[in-house]
Structure 1
């Protein structure tokens, strides 16, 4: 059976690598040096469905499908009076996050950016835009992408 925690860890790391900004799982990412929430921009990662089933009569639970929602956040800058989130920043982050499904330019199989999960391979990835939000009261603007990862044990 494919455990959820290593998948979440790998998705979080991939999004951090692609955006260059911190990712928090279900919460605002924290600054490790100060223990306080980091200011935007950042990404919020929400684990959604995780199904261990390969839909065969002799299911060995060696395959899984994991879904996630990534909310790319632009917002006020600390100490910057009158600052607000910017749509172009939220869209830029989402563009970087969309690279999760990017294929190699040379046409070779697989994905351009590895999703590294010990003992598990990802043979298919999907991403769909799920909208975004704007909160004029606190200046937060977001873009949202939902991902689906199709996984199988590799035995490695």
Structure 2
């Protein structure tokens, strides 16, 4: 059976490497200064061949929140919607982008014992874009479909 914890680590590693921004898995990343991403698993579905009923395949939906805000170490800094939108665009590029010549994923998501065969933008619930909120975010949900390797 595919371990969701392994998938979470792989998605977080790909997003951090591809974006150059820290990724917190369910919590603010070490350091805690924006900009950063928050990654939270919101649902998991198991499926498989109806006769074997081993549920070997897995689909996981992750919420990726791009967070921008004032940097505590920089007096007078503030959150800007432009940065949150850039980070949301970057997350989509990292998690969904393909090489137009080969069709291969631009950023591999490597899970021990499994193959990621599908990646989708599941929903984009929104976020906060009011500068008076101090922190501006953009929320997207991505679905990853896996099968045992």
Taking structure 1 as the reference length, the TM-score comes to 0.86
Match of 2:68 in 1: 74
Q: How many residues matched?
A: 147
Contact 1:71–1:145 (CA under 8 A) maintained in structure 2: yes
Contact 2:26–2:40 (CA under 8 A) maintained in structure 1: yes
- Alpha-carbon offset, residue 105 of structure 1: 1.6
For residues 6-35 of structure 1, what are the alpha-carbon distances to aligned partners after superposition, in whole Å with 9 as ceiling and x for unaligned? 00000110110121011101110013xxxx
Match of 1:143 in 2: 138
The one of 78, 96, 99 equivalent to 1:101 is 96
| In 2: Cα distance, 1:26 partner to 1:13 partner | 14
Match of 2:127 in 1: 132
Aligned CA RMSD, in angstroms, stands at 1.6
Shifted more, 56-65 versus 16-25: the winner is 56-65
| In 1: Cα distance, 2:37 partner to 2:19 partner | 9
CA pair 110-63 structure 1, distance change in 2 beyond 3 A = farther
Match of 1:34 in 2: none
- Alpha-carbon offset, residue 81 of structure 1: 3.3
Contact 2:70–2:135 (CA under 8 A) maintained in structure 1: yes
| In 2: Cα distance, 1:66 partner to 1:94 partner | 19
